[in-house]
Amino acid sequence: MSDEQTWSAAEGGSTLGMGGAEGGTIVRDEQHPAGLRLTLEEDPARSFHALTCSVAGWLVHRRYFDDEAKAQAAWDEMKPALVELSTQLPASGAKGMDAATRAAGAKLGAFLARFP
């Protein structure tokens, strides 16, 4: 099964059309079994698009766009990068300042630098 097939509508698609955390309307919302989620909100009246990604136990990150095409392109670029990132993080989550957590911090930092 390809990675694209493992993503599915978050909460069975029930979040679509609802208000999002950034004040827009949720237009795309997908989750991945690795504990990943990617949500896109928009408010065309404000030329506002917010893309929120999360890695359970590790990261919640938001990006903002003034153009729908840029937001959609970012969505497409971030999905495989999130899956790749999740394979590099300990499944047990952060454990204080042990070596695995410090290494994960570097991976998270690189992801945030790639997707500011």
What's at 21, amino acid-wise? A
Instruction: List C-alpha distances in Å: 94 to 18, 67, 101, 105.
Output: 32, 35, 5, 9
CB 59 within 8 A of CB 109: no
pLDDT at 1 over 50: no
Question: Which tokens hold the place of 42?
Answer: 């928009």
First to last CA, the chain: 30
| pLDDT one-digit tens code per residue, 48-58 | 999 999 999 99
pTM over 0.85: yes
36 half-sphere exposure, CB direction, 13 A CA radius: 22
Question: Which tokens hold the place of 91?
Answer: 């499944």
| pLDDT one-digit tens code per residue, 4-47 | 679 999 999 999 999 999 999 999 999 999 999 999 999 989 98
Share of the chain above pLDDT 90, in %: 80
